[in-house]
Structure 1
Amino acid sequence: MGIGVLYAMAAGLMWGLVFIGPLLLPEYPAALQSFGRYLAFGLITLPIAWMDRRQLRLLSKSDWIEALKLAAVGNILYYLCLASAIQRSGAPLPTMLIGTLPVVIAITANYRNAQRDGSIAWRRMLPSLLIIFAGVACVNSVEIAALQAASDKDIQTYIVGGLFALVAVACWTWYPLRNADWLRHHPDRNPRVWASAQGVATLPLALLGYLGLWIYMSVSGQDFSMPFGPRPQYFITLMLIIGLFASWLGTMCWNQASQRLPTNLAGQLIVFETLAALAYAFILSKRMPEPMVLLGIILLIVGVVTALRVKPQAIH
Protein backbone atom coordinates (compact mmCIF):
# COMPACT_ATOMS: atom_id res chain seq x y z
CA MET A 1 0.00 0.00 0.00
CA GLY A 2 2.89 2.38 0.78
CA ILE A 3 4.29 1.86 -2.73
CA GLY A 4 0.83 2.52 -4.15
CA VAL A 5 0.63 5.85 -2.31
CA LEU A 6 4.06 6.86 -3.66
CA TYR A 7 2.96 6.01 -7.20
CA ALA A 8 -0.19 8.11 -6.72
CA MET A 9 1.93 11.02 -5.46
CA ALA A 10 4.24 10.77 -8.48
CA ALA A 11 1.24 10.72 -10.83
CA GLY A 12 -0.22 13.81 -9.16
CA LEU A 13 3.02 15.77 -9.41
CA MET A 14 3.22 15.06 -13.14
CA TRP A 15 -0.49 15.63 -13.81
CA GLY A 16 -0.19 19.07 -12.25
CA LEU A 17 1.77 20.09 -15.35
CA VAL A 18 -1.38 20.00 -17.51
CA PHE A 19 -2.83 22.98 -15.64
CA ILE A 20 -0.06 25.34 -16.73
CA GLY A 21 -0.14 24.41 -20.43
CA PRO A 22 -3.15 26.66 -21.20
CA LEU A 23 -1.52 29.48 -19.22
CA LEU A 24 1.71 29.19 -21.22
CA LEU A 25 -0.20 29.08 -24.54
CA PRO A 26 -3.13 31.48 -24.01
CA GLU A 27 -3.41 32.30 -27.72
CA TYR A 28 -3.82 28.62 -28.68
CA PRO A 29 -7.37 27.17 -28.83
CA ALA A 30 -8.15 24.66 -26.08
CA ALA A 31 -9.05 22.02 -28.68
CA LEU A 32 -5.64 22.37 -30.36
CA GLN A 33 -3.89 21.96 -27.02
CA SER A 34 -5.96 18.90 -26.18
CA PHE A 35 -5.42 17.16 -29.52
CA GLY A 36 -1.77 18.25 -29.59
CA ARG A 37 -1.04 16.83 -26.14
CA TYR A 38 -2.59 13.46 -26.93
CA LEU A 39 -1.10 13.29 -30.40
CA ALA A 40 2.26 13.67 -28.67
CA PHE A 41 1.20 11.02 -26.13
CA GLY A 42 0.32 8.56 -28.86
CA LEU A 43 3.52 9.16 -30.82
CA ILE A 44 5.66 8.82 -27.69
CA THR A 45 3.88 5.57 -26.89
CA LEU A 46 4.62 3.93 -30.26
CA PRO A 47 8.26 2.91 -29.58
CA ILE A 48 7.32 1.84 -26.04
CA ALA A 49 4.43 -0.21 -27.43
CA TRP A 50 6.82 -1.85 -29.91
CA MET A 51 8.95 -3.04 -26.99
CA ASP A 52 5.79 -4.31 -25.24
CA ARG A 53 4.29 -5.81 -28.41
CA ARG A 54 4.22 -9.38 -27.08
CA GLN A 55 2.16 -8.40 -24.05
CA LEU A 56 -0.05 -6.09 -26.11
CA ARG A 57 -0.93 -9.02 -28.38
CA LEU A 58 -2.43 -10.76 -25.34
CA LEU A 59 -5.11 -8.06 -25.06
CA SER A 60 -8.52 -9.11 -26.37
CA LYS A 61 -10.87 -7.13 -28.60
CA SER A 62 -12.90 -6.09 -25.53
CA ASP A 63 -9.69 -4.89 -23.85
CA TRP A 64 -8.89 -2.63 -26.80
CA ILE A 65 -12.47 -1.29 -26.87
CA GLU A 66 -12.12 -0.46 -23.16
CA ALA A 67 -8.78 1.27 -23.82
CA LEU A 68 -10.46 3.29 -26.59
CA LYS A 69 -13.28 4.38 -24.26
CA LEU A 70 -10.81 5.37 -21.55
CA ALA A 71 -8.75 7.31 -24.10
CA ALA A 72 -11.79 9.17 -25.47
CA VAL A 73 -13.34 10.17 -22.13
CA GLY A 74 -10.44 10.21 -19.66
CA ASN A 75 -7.91 11.74 -22.02
CA ILE A 76 -9.24 13.83 -24.89
CA LEU A 77 -12.66 14.96 -23.61
CA TYR A 78 -11.34 15.57 -20.10
CA TYR A 79 -8.42 17.73 -21.18
CA LEU A 80 -10.49 19.57 -23.79
CA CYS A 81 -12.92 20.64 -21.05
CA LEU A 82 -10.12 21.38 -18.57
CA ALA A 83 -8.15 23.55 -21.02
CA SER A 84 -11.36 25.38 -21.98
CA ALA A 85 -12.12 26.00 -18.31
CA ILE A 86 -8.63 27.32 -17.53
CA GLN A 87 -8.61 29.68 -20.50
CA ARG A 88 -12.00 31.12 -19.47
CA SER A 89 -11.72 31.15 -15.68
CA GLY A 90 -7.99 31.10 -14.93
CA ALA A 91 -6.25 28.28 -13.09
CA PRO A 92 -7.59 28.49 -9.48
CA LEU A 93 -11.29 27.77 -10.09
CA PRO A 94 -10.84 24.70 -12.37
CA THR A 95 -8.00 23.48 -10.14
CA MET A 96 -10.13 23.63 -7.02
CA LEU A 97 -13.16 22.06 -8.74
CA ILE A 98 -10.88 19.25 -9.90
CA GLY A 99 -9.76 19.24 -6.26
CA THR A 100 -13.18 17.86 -5.29
CA LEU A 101 -12.40 14.65 -7.21
CA PRO A 102 -11.01 12.85 -4.14
CA VAL A 103 -14.37 13.11 -2.38
CA VAL A 104 -16.48 12.69 -5.54
CA ILE A 105 -14.64 9.52 -6.50
CA ALA A 106 -14.74 8.21 -2.92
CA ILE A 107 -18.52 8.70 -2.75
CA THR A 108 -19.07 7.13 -6.17
CA ALA A 109 -16.78 4.20 -5.36
CA ASN A 110 -18.58 3.75 -2.05
CA TYR A 111 -21.80 3.13 -3.95
CA ARG A 112 -20.27 1.23 -6.81
CA ASN A 113 -17.41 -0.86 -5.41
CA ALA A 114 -18.47 -1.51 -1.82
CA GLN A 115 -18.49 -5.27 -2.34
CA ARG A 116 -14.97 -5.30 -3.79
CA ASP A 117 -13.20 -2.52 -1.86
CA GLY A 118 -15.24 -2.18 1.35
CA SER A 119 -17.72 0.50 2.41
CA ILE A 120 -17.49 3.76 4.38
CA ALA A 121 -20.45 4.95 6.48
CA TRP A 122 -21.85 8.12 4.92
CA ARG A 123 -21.85 10.00 8.25
CA ARG A 124 -18.07 9.39 8.46
CA MET A 125 -17.59 10.91 5.00
CA LEU A 126 -19.53 14.11 5.73
CA PRO A 127 -16.78 16.00 7.67
CA SER A 128 -14.18 15.67 4.89
CA LEU A 129 -16.79 16.53 2.25
CA LEU A 130 -17.78 19.75 4.04
CA ILE A 131 -14.15 20.77 4.65
CA ILE A 132 -13.19 20.33 0.98
CA PHE A 133 -16.18 22.28 -0.29
CA ALA A 134 -15.34 25.04 2.17
CA GLY A 135 -11.89 25.17 0.56
CA VAL A 136 -13.43 25.47 -2.90
CA ALA A 137 -15.66 28.29 -1.65
CA CYS A 138 -12.66 30.21 -0.25
CA VAL A 139 -10.81 30.16 -3.58
CA ASN A 140 -13.90 31.01 -5.59
CA SER A 141 -14.68 34.00 -3.37
CA VAL A 142 -11.34 35.52 -4.38
CA GLU A 143 -11.93 34.88 -8.08
CA ILE A 144 -15.49 36.26 -8.05
CA ALA A 145 -14.44 39.35 -6.09
CA ALA A 146 -11.85 40.10 -8.79
CA LEU A 147 -14.62 40.00 -11.41
CA GLN A 148 -17.16 42.19 -9.61
CA ALA A 149 -16.00 45.28 -11.50
CA ALA A 150 -15.88 43.41 -14.80
CA SER A 151 -18.53 43.34 -17.50
CA ASP A 152 -21.34 40.80 -17.60
CA LYS A 153 -19.58 39.09 -20.47
CA ASP A 154 -16.48 38.48 -18.35
CA ILE A 155 -18.57 37.06 -15.51
CA GLN A 156 -20.44 34.85 -17.96
CA THR A 157 -17.13 33.65 -19.36
CA TYR A 158 -16.02 32.76 -15.84
CA ILE A 159 -19.24 30.81 -15.24
CA VAL A 160 -18.90 28.96 -18.56
CA GLY A 161 -15.36 28.05 -17.54
CA GLY A 162 -16.73 26.62 -14.31
CA LEU A 163 -19.24 24.53 -16.27
CA PHE A 164 -16.46 23.14 -18.46
CA ALA A 165 -14.56 22.26 -15.27
CA LEU A 166 -17.61 20.38 -13.95
CA VAL A 167 -17.75 18.30 -17.15
CA ALA A 168 -14.05 17.57 -16.65
CA VAL A 169 -14.84 16.42 -13.10
CA ALA A 170 -17.51 14.06 -14.49
CA CYS A 171 -15.06 12.64 -17.05
CA TRP A 172 -12.40 12.02 -14.45
CA THR A 173 -14.82 10.49 -12.00
CA TRP A 174 -15.75 7.92 -14.62
CA TYR A 175 -12.19 7.27 -15.83
CA PRO A 176 -10.42 6.06 -12.65
CA LEU A 177 -13.35 3.82 -11.71
CA ARG A 178 -13.41 2.08 -15.09
CA ASN A 179 -9.62 2.00 -15.31
CA ALA A 180 -9.36 0.46 -11.83
CA ASP A 181 -11.99 -2.12 -12.80
CA TRP A 182 -9.80 -3.40 -15.61
CA LEU A 183 -6.60 -3.35 -13.55
CA ARG A 184 -8.15 -5.07 -10.55
CA HIS A 185 -9.71 -7.72 -12.81
CA HIS A 186 -6.32 -8.30 -14.50
CA PRO A 187 -3.81 -8.41 -11.61
CA ASP A 188 -1.42 -10.44 -13.77
CA ARG A 189 -1.09 -7.64 -16.37
CA ASN A 190 1.65 -5.02 -16.30
CA PRO A 191 0.22 -1.52 -15.58
CA ARG A 192 2.88 -0.03 -17.88
CA VAL A 193 1.54 -2.10 -20.78
CA TRP A 194 -1.99 -0.89 -20.05
CA ALA A 195 -0.71 2.70 -20.17
CA SER A 196 0.85 1.94 -23.56
CA ALA A 197 -2.41 0.40 -24.77
CA GLN A 198 -4.25 3.59 -23.87
CA GLY A 199 -1.60 5.63 -25.68
CA VAL A 200 -2.00 3.54 -28.81
CA ALA A 201 -5.80 3.87 -28.58
CA THR A 202 -5.50 7.64 -28.09
CA LEU A 203 -3.34 8.20 -31.19
CA PRO A 204 -6.00 7.75 -33.93
CA LEU A 205 -8.55 9.78 -31.95
CA ALA A 206 -6.09 12.63 -31.43
CA LEU A 207 -4.96 12.52 -35.07
CA LEU A 208 -8.53 12.66 -36.39
CA GLY A 209 -9.37 15.46 -33.97
CA TYR A 210 -6.27 17.44 -34.96
CA LEU A 211 -6.98 17.09 -38.69
CA GLY A 212 -10.68 17.89 -38.19
CA LEU A 213 -9.81 21.03 -36.24
CA TRP A 214 -7.33 22.08 -38.94
CA ILE A 215 -9.99 21.70 -41.64
CA TYR A 216 -12.61 23.53 -39.53
CA MET A 217 -10.30 26.46 -38.85
CA SER A 218 -9.39 26.71 -42.53
CA VAL A 219 -13.01 26.57 -43.71
CA SER A 220 -14.22 29.05 -41.10
CA GLY A 221 -11.46 31.48 -42.06
CA GLN A 222 -9.98 31.80 -38.57
CA ASP A 223 -6.79 33.82 -38.39
CA PHE A 224 -4.57 31.13 -36.86
CA SER A 225 -1.48 29.65 -38.48
CA MET A 226 -1.99 25.91 -38.53
CA PRO A 227 -0.71 23.29 -37.99
CA PHE A 228 1.43 24.43 -35.04
CA GLY A 229 0.36 28.02 -34.41
CA PRO A 230 2.41 31.22 -34.06
CA ARG A 231 5.03 29.62 -31.79
CA PRO A 232 5.59 26.21 -33.37
CA GLN A 233 8.80 25.20 -31.58
CA TYR A 234 7.44 26.22 -28.19
CA PHE A 235 4.12 24.47 -28.85
CA ILE A 236 5.70 21.22 -30.04
CA THR A 237 8.20 21.14 -27.15
CA LEU A 238 5.52 21.76 -24.53
CA MET A 239 3.19 19.14 -26.02
CA LEU A 240 6.00 16.56 -26.01
CA ILE A 241 6.89 17.35 -22.39
CA ILE A 242 3.26 17.10 -21.25
CA GLY A 243 2.69 14.04 -23.43
CA LEU A 244 5.67 12.21 -21.93
CA PHE A 245 5.40 13.17 -18.27
CA ALA A 246 1.73 13.95 -17.67
CA SER A 247 0.25 11.43 -20.12
CA TRP A 248 2.39 8.30 -20.45
CA LEU A 249 4.44 8.38 -17.25
CA GLY A 250 1.58 9.84 -15.19
CA THR A 251 -0.83 7.18 -16.49
CA MET A 252 1.69 4.43 -15.80
CA CYS A 253 2.19 5.61 -12.19
CA TRP A 254 -1.57 5.92 -11.70
CA ASN A 255 -2.10 2.40 -13.06
CA GLN A 256 0.47 1.10 -10.59
CA ALA A 257 -1.38 2.85 -7.75
CA SER A 258 -4.82 1.67 -8.96
CA GLN A 259 -3.69 -1.95 -9.01
CA ARG A 260 -2.45 -1.72 -5.40
CA LEU A 261 -5.05 0.46 -3.65
CA PRO A 262 -8.82 0.36 -3.06
CA THR A 263 -10.53 2.75 -5.48
CA ASN A 264 -12.04 4.92 -2.75
CA LEU A 265 -8.55 5.39 -1.27
CA ALA A 266 -6.69 5.87 -4.58
CA GLY A 267 -9.24 8.44 -5.73
CA GLN A 268 -8.63 10.58 -2.68
CA LEU A 269 -4.91 10.75 -3.48
CA ILE A 270 -5.66 12.82 -6.59
CA VAL A 271 -5.23 15.70 -4.16
CA PHE A 272 -1.54 15.60 -5.08
CA GLU A 273 -2.50 16.75 -8.60
CA THR A 274 -4.50 19.66 -7.21
CA LEU A 275 -1.74 20.82 -4.89
CA ALA A 276 0.91 20.48 -7.61
CA ALA A 277 -1.24 22.42 -10.09
CA LEU A 278 -1.81 25.27 -7.64
CA ALA A 279 1.89 25.41 -6.78
CA TYR A 280 2.93 25.46 -10.46
CA ALA A 281 0.36 28.17 -11.28
CA PHE A 282 1.55 30.49 -8.50
CA ILE A 283 5.22 29.85 -9.33
CA LEU A 284 4.48 30.69 -12.97
CA SER A 285 2.75 33.94 -12.00
CA LYS A 286 5.57 34.75 -9.51
CA ARG A 287 3.18 35.60 -6.70
CA MET A 288 2.02 34.24 -3.39
CA PRO A 289 -1.56 33.00 -3.06
CA GLU A 290 -4.03 35.41 -1.46
CA PRO A 291 -4.94 34.65 2.18
CA MET A 292 -8.34 33.20 1.21
CA VAL A 293 -6.76 31.03 -1.49
CA LEU A 294 -4.18 29.85 1.02
CA LEU A 295 -6.97 29.06 3.47
CA GLY A 296 -8.73 27.12 0.71
CA ILE A 297 -5.59 25.08 0.04
CA ILE A 298 -5.19 24.32 3.75
CA LEU A 299 -8.84 23.26 4.01
CA LEU A 300 -8.42 21.03 0.96
CA ILE A 301 -5.42 19.28 2.54
CA VAL A 302 -7.18 18.93 5.90
CA GLY A 303 -10.31 17.58 4.19
CA VAL A 304 -8.46 14.88 2.30
CA VAL A 305 -6.32 13.94 5.33
CA THR A 306 -9.58 13.60 7.28
CA ALA A 307 -10.99 11.38 4.53
CA LEU A 308 -7.87 9.20 4.52
CA ARG A 309 -8.29 8.50 8.22
CA VAL A 310 -11.60 6.78 7.51
CA LYS A 311 -10.87 3.25 6.38
CA PRO A 312 -13.28 1.18 4.28
CA GLN A 313 -14.98 -1.68 6.12
CA ALA A 314 -15.33 -5.03 4.39
CA ILE A 315 -18.86 -6.20 3.61
CA HIS A 316 -19.52 -9.79 4.63
Structure 2
Amino acid sequence: MRIVVIGGGVGCARFVLGLREHIARDSSDDTIDVVVNTADDWWVSGLRIAPDHDSLLYALAGVNDTERGWGRAGETERVSAELAAWGTAPDWFTLGDLDLGTHIARTAWLREGASVSDVYRRLGSRWPLGATLHPATDAEIDTQVVTDSGRMHFQEWWVRHRSRLPARRFKQSDIERASVTSGARDAIENADVILVAPSNPVVSIGPVLAVPGMRGLLKDAAAPIVGVSGIIDGSVVRGMADACLTAIGVETSARAVAEHYGARRAGGILDGWLVDETDAAATDPLTALGITTRAVPLWMRDPDSSAQVARDTLALARTLR
Protein backbone atom coordinates (compact mmCIF):
# COMPACT_ATOMS: atom_id res chain seq x y z
CA MET A 1 0.00 0.00 0.00
CA ARG A 2 1.27 3.44 -0.91
CA ILE A 3 0.67 5.90 1.93
CA VAL A 4 0.97 9.61 1.17
CA VAL A 5 1.23 12.18 3.95
CA ILE A 6 0.75 15.93 3.55
CA GLY A 7 2.43 18.16 6.12
CA GLY A 8 5.65 19.52 7.50
CA GLY A 9 7.50 20.27 10.70
CA VAL A 10 7.73 18.48 14.03
CA GLY A 11 4.10 17.32 14.20
CA CYS A 12 4.38 15.73 10.78
CA ALA A 13 7.74 14.18 11.67
CA ARG A 14 6.32 12.50 14.76
CA PHE A 15 3.36 11.23 12.80
CA VAL A 16 5.54 9.80 10.02
CA LEU A 17 7.81 8.18 12.61
CA GLY A 18 4.69 6.50 13.99
CA LEU A 19 3.71 5.31 10.52
CA ARG A 20 7.17 3.92 9.93
CA GLU A 21 7.10 2.16 13.29
CA HIS A 22 3.68 0.68 12.57
CA ILE A 23 4.80 -0.61 9.16
CA ALA A 24 7.91 -2.19 10.69
CA ARG A 25 5.89 -3.90 13.43
CA ASP A 26 3.33 -5.08 10.92
CA SER A 27 6.10 -6.42 8.65
CA SER A 28 4.24 -5.00 5.67
CA ASP A 29 5.63 -3.69 2.41
CA ASP A 30 3.72 -0.40 2.69
CA THR A 31 5.61 2.67 1.49
CA ILE A 32 5.46 6.28 2.69
CA ASP A 33 5.65 9.45 0.60
CA VAL A 34 5.50 12.85 2.26
CA VAL A 35 4.41 15.99 0.39
CA VAL A 36 6.22 18.69 2.35
CA ASN A 37 5.38 22.35 2.91
CA THR A 38 8.06 24.68 1.54
CA ALA A 39 6.48 28.03 2.41
CA ASP A 40 8.40 28.54 5.65
CA ASP A 41 11.71 28.31 3.74
CA TRP A 42 13.77 31.50 3.61
CA TRP A 43 17.20 33.01 2.96
CA VAL A 44 19.63 33.68 5.83
CA SER A 45 23.26 34.77 5.31
CA GLY A 46 22.92 33.81 1.66
CA LEU A 47 21.80 30.28 2.56
CA ARG A 48 18.46 28.65 1.81
CA ILE A 49 16.89 27.35 5.03
CA ALA A 50 14.06 24.78 4.94
CA PRO A 51 12.74 24.20 8.49
CA ASP A 52 9.76 21.94 7.72
CA HIS A 53 11.78 19.65 5.46
CA ASP A 54 14.75 19.51 7.80
CA SER A 55 12.61 18.63 10.82
CA LEU A 56 11.40 15.60 8.87
CA LEU A 57 14.85 14.74 7.49
CA TYR A 58 16.61 14.83 10.85
CA ALA A 59 13.84 13.00 12.73
CA LEU A 60 13.60 10.18 10.19
CA ALA A 61 17.40 9.92 10.09
CA GLY A 62 17.52 9.70 13.89
CA VAL A 63 19.92 12.65 14.19
CA ASN A 64 17.46 15.24 15.52
CA ASP A 65 17.65 16.98 18.89
CA THR A 66 14.76 15.34 20.74
CA GLU A 67 15.05 17.67 23.74
CA ARG A 68 14.71 20.92 21.82
CA GLY A 69 12.43 19.32 19.27
CA TRP A 70 14.27 20.82 16.29
CA GLY A 71 17.75 20.87 14.77
CA ARG A 72 20.55 18.31 15.04
CA ALA A 73 21.61 16.43 18.15
CA GLY A 74 25.03 17.29 19.59
CA GLU A 75 25.06 20.74 18.00
CA THR A 76 27.53 23.57 18.47
CA GLU A 77 26.81 27.15 17.44
CA ARG A 78 30.20 28.78 16.88
CA VAL A 79 29.59 29.66 13.23
CA SER A 80 26.17 31.14 13.97
CA ALA A 81 27.74 33.38 16.61
CA GLU A 82 30.30 34.57 14.07
CA LEU A 83 27.61 35.29 11.48
CA ALA A 84 25.70 37.35 14.03
CA ALA A 85 28.90 39.19 14.99
CA TRP A 86 29.46 40.09 11.32
CA GLY A 87 25.85 41.25 11.07
CA THR A 88 24.92 38.82 8.30
CA ALA A 89 22.40 36.82 10.35
CA PRO A 90 19.80 37.92 12.90
CA ASP A 91 20.78 37.13 16.49
CA TRP A 92 17.27 35.75 17.13
CA PHE A 93 17.60 32.96 14.56
CA THR A 94 20.33 30.55 15.61
CA LEU A 95 21.70 27.94 13.24
CA GLY A 96 23.75 25.03 14.54
CA ASP A 97 27.03 24.15 12.87
CA LEU A 98 25.85 20.71 11.73
CA ASP A 99 22.62 22.26 10.52
CA LEU A 100 24.62 24.85 8.58
CA GLY A 101 26.31 22.01 6.72
CA THR A 102 22.90 21.00 5.37
CA HIS A 103 22.06 24.58 4.37
CA ILE A 104 25.41 25.09 2.64
CA ALA A 105 24.97 21.87 0.65
CA ARG A 106 21.40 22.80 -0.27
CA THR A 107 22.37 26.28 -1.40
CA ALA A 108 25.35 25.03 -3.41
CA TRP A 109 23.15 22.59 -5.31
CA LEU A 110 20.46 25.21 -5.92
CA ARG A 111 23.04 27.66 -7.27
CA GLU A 112 24.34 24.92 -9.59
CA GLY A 113 20.84 24.69 -11.07
CA ALA A 114 19.32 21.82 -9.11
CA SER A 115 15.61 22.01 -8.37
CA VAL A 116 14.23 21.77 -4.84
CA SER A 117 13.05 18.26 -5.74
CA ASP A 118 16.63 17.37 -6.74
CA VAL A 119 17.91 18.70 -3.43
CA TYR A 120 15.35 16.67 -1.49
CA ARG A 121 16.54 13.52 -3.24
CA ARG A 122 20.20 14.26 -2.57
CA LEU A 123 19.68 15.09 1.08
CA GLY A 124 17.40 12.09 1.55
CA SER A 125 19.95 9.68 0.11
CA ARG A 126 22.36 10.14 3.00
CA TRP A 127 20.31 8.17 5.56
CA PRO A 128 17.76 5.32 5.36
CA LEU A 129 14.66 7.40 6.07
CA GLY A 130 11.96 4.83 5.44
CA ALA A 131 10.02 7.50 3.53
CA THR A 132 10.39 9.59 0.37
CA LEU A 133 10.09 13.36 0.79
CA HIS A 134 8.71 15.54 -2.01
CA PRO A 135 8.44 19.35 -1.96
CA ALA A 136 4.90 20.52 -2.68
CA THR A 137 6.43 22.90 -5.24
CA ASP A 138 9.88 23.76 -6.57
CA ALA A 139 9.00 27.48 -6.60
CA GLU A 140 9.88 29.91 -3.81
CA ILE A 141 6.60 30.71 -2.07
CA ASP A 142 7.87 32.07 1.26
CA THR A 143 5.06 32.97 3.66
CA GLN A 144 4.74 36.66 4.52
CA VAL A 145 2.78 37.79 7.57
CA VAL A 146 0.90 41.06 7.52
CA THR A 147 0.65 42.73 10.95
CA ASP A 148 -0.15 46.21 12.23
CA SER A 149 3.62 46.68 12.58
CA GLY A 150 4.22 45.88 8.92
CA ARG A 151 4.85 42.90 6.70
CA MET A 152 7.54 40.38 7.59
CA HIS A 153 8.70 36.88 6.74
CA PHE A 154 6.91 34.16 8.64
CA GLN A 155 10.11 33.15 10.41
CA GLU A 156 10.55 36.62 11.89
CA TRP A 157 6.96 36.64 13.13
CA TRP A 158 7.24 33.08 14.46
CA VAL A 159 10.73 32.99 15.96
CA ARG A 160 11.58 36.59 16.81
CA HIS A 161 8.14 37.77 17.89
CA ARG A 162 6.84 34.36 19.03
CA SER A 163 3.60 35.15 17.16
CA ARG A 164 2.75 37.82 19.73
CA LEU A 165 2.14 40.42 17.04
CA PRO A 166 -1.48 39.89 15.92
CA ALA A 167 -1.43 38.65 12.34
CA ARG A 168 -3.93 40.12 9.90
CA ARG A 169 -3.28 37.66 7.10
CA PHE A 170 -0.76 35.24 5.63
CA LYS A 171 0.39 35.41 2.04
CA GLN A 172 2.67 33.13 0.02
CA SER A 173 4.88 35.16 -2.32
CA ASP A 174 4.36 34.52 -6.04
CA ILE A 175 2.32 31.39 -5.33
CA GLU A 176 0.25 32.01 -8.46
CA ARG A 177 3.38 31.09 -10.45
CA ALA A 178 3.97 27.86 -8.55
CA SER A 179 3.04 24.37 -9.67
CA VAL A 180 2.92 20.95 -8.04
CA THR A 181 6.15 18.96 -8.36
CA SER A 182 6.12 15.79 -10.43
CA GLY A 183 7.02 13.76 -7.35
CA ALA A 184 4.11 15.10 -5.33
CA ARG A 185 1.73 14.69 -8.27
CA ASP A 186 2.75 11.07 -8.85
CA ALA A 187 2.44 10.26 -5.16
CA ILE A 188 -1.09 11.69 -4.88
CA GLU A 189 -2.33 10.22 -8.15
CA ASN A 190 -1.07 6.74 -7.24
CA ALA A 191 -1.78 6.77 -3.52
CA ASP A 192 -3.82 4.10 -1.78
CA VAL A 193 -4.29 6.34 1.26
CA ILE A 194 -3.71 10.09 1.70
CA LEU A 195 -3.21 11.40 5.23
CA VAL A 196 -3.19 15.02 6.41
CA ALA A 197 -0.66 15.18 9.25
CA PRO A 198 -1.25 16.97 12.56
CA SER A 199 0.72 19.96 11.29
CA ASN A 200 -0.14 23.66 11.59
CA PRO A 201 -3.34 23.99 9.52
CA VAL A 202 -2.56 27.55 8.45
CA VAL A 203 1.16 27.76 7.69
CA SER A 204 2.12 24.11 7.04
CA ILE A 205 -0.96 22.53 5.46
CA GLY A 206 -2.49 25.74 4.08
CA PRO A 207 0.40 26.62 1.73
CA VAL A 208 0.50 23.08 0.32
CA LEU A 209 -3.20 23.31 -0.50
CA ALA A 210 -2.68 26.77 -2.00
CA VAL A 211 -0.22 25.57 -4.65
CA PRO A 212 -2.12 25.87 -7.95
CA GLY A 213 -3.38 22.45 -9.01
CA MET A 214 -3.04 20.81 -5.58
CA ARG A 215 -6.70 20.96 -4.58
CA GLY A 216 -7.70 19.59 -7.98
CA LEU A 217 -5.35 16.63 -7.50
CA LEU A 218 -6.83 15.91 -4.08
CA LYS A 219 -10.38 16.29 -5.36
CA ASP A 220 -9.75 13.73 -8.11
CA ALA A 221 -7.64 11.34 -6.04
CA ALA A 222 -8.96 7.79 -5.89
CA ALA A 223 -7.55 7.32 -2.39
CA PRO A 224 -9.49 8.27 0.75
CA ILE A 225 -8.18 11.37 2.53
CA VAL A 226 -8.01 11.23 6.32
CA GLY A 227 -6.70 13.98 8.59
CA VAL A 228 -5.37 13.83 12.13
CA SER A 229 -6.11 16.68 14.50
CA GLY A 230 -3.20 18.60 15.99
CA ILE A 231 -5.62 20.21 18.43
CA ILE A 232 -6.49 18.24 21.55
CA ASP A 233 -9.12 19.43 24.03
CA GLY A 234 -8.98 22.98 22.69
CA SER A 235 -5.19 23.32 22.87
CA VAL A 236 -2.43 22.97 20.31
CA VAL A 237 -0.17 19.98 20.86
CA ARG A 238 2.94 21.94 19.90
CA GLY A 239 3.83 25.38 18.61
CA MET A 240 1.61 28.40 18.21
CA ALA A 241 -1.01 27.26 15.73
CA ASP A 242 -3.66 28.93 17.86
CA ALA A 243 -2.28 32.37 16.91
CA CYS A 244 -2.43 31.39 13.23
CA LEU A 245 -5.97 30.06 13.51
CA THR A 246 -7.13 33.19 15.31
CA ALA A 247 -5.70 35.32 12.51
CA ILE A 248 -7.90 33.57 9.92
CA GLY A 249 -10.97 33.48 12.16
CA VAL A 250 -10.93 29.77 13.01
CA GLU A 251 -11.53 28.55 16.55
CA THR A 252 -8.78 26.49 18.15
CA SER A 253 -10.63 23.19 18.28
CA ALA A 254 -10.48 19.85 16.52
CA ARG A 255 -13.98 20.37 15.14
CA ALA A 256 -13.27 23.86 13.78
CA VAL A 257 -10.10 22.76 12.02
CA ALA A 258 -11.94 19.90 10.31
CA GLU A 259 -14.65 22.33 9.23
CA HIS A 260 -11.92 24.65 7.93
CA TYR A 261 -10.51 21.83 5.76
CA GLY A 262 -14.03 20.85 4.72
CA ALA A 263 -15.61 17.63 3.49
CA ARG A 264 -14.34 16.47 0.12
CA ARG A 265 -17.87 15.84 -1.10
CA ALA A 266 -18.62 19.52 -0.43
CA GLY A 267 -15.49 20.93 -2.09
CA GLY A 268 -13.08 20.49 0.81
CA ILE A 269 -10.38 17.86 1.22
CA LEU A 270 -11.40 15.46 4.00
CA ASP A 271 -13.19 12.13 3.86
CA GLY A 272 -12.24 11.23 7.42
CA TRP A 273 -10.89 12.88 10.56
CA LEU A 274 -9.36 11.61 13.79
CA VAL A 275 -9.87 13.54 17.00
CA ASP A 276 -8.69 12.78 20.50
CA GLU A 277 -11.00 11.07 22.98
CA THR A 278 -11.39 14.38 24.80
CA ASP A 279 -12.99 15.79 21.63
CA ALA A 280 -15.44 12.92 21.12
CA ALA A 281 -18.36 15.36 21.04
CA ALA A 282 -17.18 16.49 17.60
CA THR A 283 -17.63 13.09 15.95
CA ASP A 284 -21.36 13.17 15.20
CA PRO A 285 -21.54 16.79 13.96
CA LEU A 286 -18.55 16.31 11.65
CA THR A 287 -19.81 12.98 10.37
CA ALA A 288 -23.10 14.69 9.55
CA LEU A 289 -21.13 17.18 7.43
CA GLY A 290 -19.62 14.35 5.40
CA ILE A 291 -16.37 13.92 7.35
CA THR A 292 -16.39 10.47 8.98
CA THR A 293 -14.88 11.14 12.40
CA ARG A 294 -13.51 8.82 15.06
CA ALA A 295 -12.24 9.63 18.57
CA VAL A 296 -9.07 7.82 19.67
CA PRO A 297 -6.07 8.63 21.88
CA LEU A 298 -3.89 11.03 19.85
CA TRP A 299 -0.98 11.86 22.13
CA MET A 300 2.23 10.59 20.48
CA ARG A 301 4.54 10.27 23.47
CA ASP A 302 6.65 7.26 22.45
CA PRO A 303 6.99 4.66 19.68
CA ASP A 304 4.07 2.62 21.03
CA SER A 305 1.57 5.49 21.17
CA SER A 306 2.80 6.93 17.86
CA ALA A 307 2.42 3.58 16.11
CA GLN A 308 -1.09 3.23 17.53
CA VAL A 309 -2.12 6.63 16.15
CA ALA A 310 -0.85 5.51 12.75
CA ARG A 311 -2.72 2.22 13.06
CA ASP A 312 -5.97 4.00 13.95
CA THR A 313 -5.56 6.46 11.08
CA LEU A 314 -5.06 3.71 8.53
CA ALA A 315 -7.95 1.72 10.00
CA LEU A 316 -10.30 4.66 9.41
CA ALA A 317 -8.93 5.10 5.89
CA ARG A 318 -9.60 1.44 5.10
CA THR A 319 -13.26 1.83 6.02
CA LEU A 320 -13.52 4.68 3.50
CA ARG A 321 -11.81 2.98 0.54
Q: Compute the TM-score of the two structures, normalised by the length of structure 1.
A: 0.29
Higher strand fraction (1 or 2)? 2
Greater length-normalized contact order (CA 8 Å, ≥ 6 residues apart): 1
Higher helix fraction (1 or 2)? 1
Q: Compute the TM-score of the two structures, normalised by the length of structure 2.
A: 0.29
